[in-house]
Amino acid sequence: MAHTAEKEYLACTTGTASIAVDVGFVQEIYESRFISRLPGCPGFVLGMINIRGLVMPVLDLLAVHDPIAPVKKIVILKTSEDLVGLLITQLDDLQRFETIEPVDAAPSQLKAIAHALSGKAPIDGKDVYIIDVEKLISSTIAETAR
């Protein structure tokens, strides 16, 4: 059942997928030339960054990391756990969706985070998948702890 969105979302592209996160979780958008790699981390942990003395992990949950790209775009999310960076390909826009529909089946590029998709919204002829940030981060932390 579709419902009307009252919230504002930050829409971005990760690889070929369009995603959106509630702006209430967005601390800032950051561009970095340097991400410190950490040996022994799961593949989706790209590394760590230091922003004004705050050290946080950068997650590449959809395998969008391009080693050739000189600048990495990172959405800094403030979660109940702590600050975490999410690697994106492109920042799109702030959106207020007219309707948000349930996700019946996640597209192949979002299968890895299907459990954290809270809905989808059609915009400009394509679906934008809305991510439940808390669910995404808590499941990622649980995966990392294994």
pTM of the model: 0.87
DSSP 39-91: TT--TTEEEEEEETTEEEEEE-TT----TT-SSEEEEEEE-SS-EEEEEESEE
Give the model's pLDDT for residue 93.
92
CA distance linking residue 17 with residue 129, whole number of Å:
8
The answer to whether the beta carbons of residues 31 and 72 sit under 8 Å apart is yes
pLDDT for 75-94, tens place per residue? 999 998 899 999 999 999 99
**Residue 97 exposed, middle or buried by CB count within 10 Å (0-12, 13-18, 19+):** buried
Structure tokens, 50: 């230091």
Q: In the predicted model, is pLDDT for residue 95 greater than 90? A: yes
CA distance linking residue 93 with residue 13, whole number of Å:
10
Give the model's pLDDT for residue 8.
94
Domains of the chain, with CATH numbers?
9-145 (2.40.50.180)
Give the model's pLDDT for residue 73.
93
CA distance linking residue 87 with residue 75, whole number of Å:
7
pLDDT for 9-30, tens place per residue? 999 998 888 999 999 999 999 9
Q: What is the mean pLDDT of residues 85-110?
A: 92
